[in-house]
Amino acid sequence: MLWLSIFLVILIIVCLMGIYYAINFNKLNDLKTKIHEAEVIIDEALRMKYDTLMRVSNHIRKHMDSNKNYFKEYEKLNNTNMTNFDMDRKLNEGYTLILKMVDDLKLNEDEEIVAEIDKIKRLDEKLTAAKNYYNKNTSEENAIVRKFPTNIIASIHGFKVKLFFDGKDMDDEIIDDFKM
């Protein structure tokens, strides 16, 4: 009778450990899926923003007197291997340049340019939302990956601490993370 009680206690403990394992493994996979969904949205929005910026730059070039191509650096971005964070930064620089040129060339009334700039603004809103979603889920996943005993489950399945969208690592000794 004593052996049966011990066996039942051990069986209950093993079952509880299995349930705990399954719950945390599923949570990690859910977060991984959410992070991937955010990455897909960010990728798509960045591609659309790039295409839109190129259309606006081509339209601006038609109104310029000189043949100088101010957008040459940005035209090469699609052939450059860079992170989404770096691409986002470069596209924001290009957008700032376009806004300045639209203002300088007095193209604020051009309906085509205004429509494209509105499209870029909507894409920026979408990007901001996707980046916040990505960072929120990355933060949650990182917390699970770091904590004991869930860190054991994470390491068994190859989950590692991820960087936030902006490339910042809150655990390193680099204090320049927050400089722009």
**Rounded distance between C-alpha atoms, residue 32 and residue 45, angstroms:** 20
pLDDT at 140 over 60: yes
Give the domain range for residue 59: 33-141
Q: Per the domain annotation, does 148 fall within a domain?
A: no
Tens of pLDDT along 106-136? Answer: 888 888 989 999 999 999 999 999 999 999 9
Contact 21/134 with Cβ under 8 angstroms? Answer: no
Q: Per the domain annotation, does 58 fall within a domain?
A: yes
Phi, psi of 14 (to 5 degrees): -65, -40
pLDDT at 178 over 50: no
Tens of pLDDT along 36-75? Answer: 999 999 999 999 999 999 999 888 888 877 767 778 888 8
Q: Per the domain annotation, does 3 fall within a domain?
A: no
Q: Per the domain annotation, does 131 fall within a domain?
A: yes
Mean pLDDT, all residues of the chain:
87
| Number of structural domains in the chain | 1
> pTM of the entire structure?
0.80
Q: Per the domain annotation, does 156 fall within a domain?
A: no
Q: Per the domain annotation, does 147 fall within a domain?
A: no
Q: Per the domain annotation, does 60 fall within a domain?
A: yes
Q: Per the domain annotation, does 26 fall within a domain?
A: no
Q: What percent of the chain has pLDDT over 70?
A: 91
